[in-house]
Amino acid sequence: MMTESERFWQTAKLGHLASSHAFIAAVPFVDFIFVAGSIATGNVKPESDIDLIVGCRAGRIWTVRLMMIIFLEIQGVRRRDGDVKQNSSNKICLNHFVTPASYRLQPPYNSYWVNLYQKLIPFGGNNDAIRAFFTANADWAGPRASIREVSSLDNTAREFFELILSGSFSFTRIRRESTYT
């Protein structure tokens, strides 16, 4: 059970994360984002960082990782390895990146992982992918009592980046076509 102080800090940290929504939503090929760590488990303190698990489309994990780092660096909110507790408050820590093939956490499972996976907070993304993630882990973490619907991360910037990076409109294709004309 969370204390009143922990509930206050959880709400404040989620509000801080929401202020980065435009940057995060512009990252291409993201299926979902979960809030994890102390915010999800309820052990939130003023100096807590914001831990995220990022679900990526198959074959796009490195693109998503690079773009998340760039966008969070531009905004000045990415937690770095050298940050000490006092400097990590409200910084975003990119804990895990998963694709559909790696949604299921590999053993060994322990009470910490069960507690964390039961309390992950969906931040945004594709609701079908979110349900698939929880279904993939239900045999060891138990079924989720409920999975709240979240808003999509789709926006014009994200669509633009996906178009450019998807190969359907790439400079390689343009160059190839121009050599034959």
Q: What is the CATH number of the domain that holds 48?
A: 3.30.460.10
Cβ atoms of 72 and 50 within 8 Å: the answer is no
In a domain, 100, yes or no: yes
Residue 141: predicted pLDDT:
94
Please give the tally of structural domains in the chain: 1
Q: How far apart are the first and last CA of the chain?
A: 69
In a domain, 70, yes or no: yes
In a domain, 48, yes or no: yes
Residue 154: predicted pLDDT:
81
Owning domain of residue 65: 4-154
In a domain, 171, yes or no: no
Residue 13: predicted pLDDT:
87
In whole angstroms, how far apart are CA 10 and each of 40, 77, 97, 172? 8, 17, 22, 46
Cβ atoms of 31 and 56 within 8 Å: the answer is yes
In a domain, 172, yes or no: no
Residue 82: predicted pLDDT:
65
Q: Which residues make beta-bridge pairs with 36?
A: 51
List the chain pLDDT tens, one digit each, 181 residues: 788 988 888 888 888 888 888 888 899 999 999 999 999 999 998 888 999 999 999 999 999 999 999 999 998 888 876 666 667 788 899 999 999 999 999 999 999 999 999 999 999 999 999 999 999 999 999 988 778 788 888 888 888 899 888 875 544 444 444 444 4
In a domain, 144, yes or no: yes
In a domain, 159, yes or no: no
In a domain, 175, yes or no: no
